[in-house]
Structure 1
Amino acid sequence: MLAGALPAGVRAEPASGMPADSALEFRVSQGGYKALAALHDDQGGGSVLVVLEKPEGREVTCDGRSGCELVDLPSGRKAAVTTLVEGDLRRLLLHARAADGTSISVHASNVAEGDAATRPTPPLTVADLVRIADLPDLRW
Structure 2
Amino acid sequence: MEDTFSPRIAATLVHRTGEGTSAHEVADIVVALCQDTERALTPIIGPVGVGALYQHSLHLAKVAYPWIDIIPTRPATAADFSVFHTLLAQQTAETALAGGKEVLEAFFRLLVSLIGFSLSEQLLAAVWTDPAPDTSAQDVVP
Q: TM-score, normalised by structure 1?
A: 0.27
Q: TM-score, normalised by structure 2?
A: 0.27
More strand by proportion, 1 or 2? 1
More helix by proportion, 1 or 2? 2
Which has the higher Rg, Structure 1 or Structure 2? 2
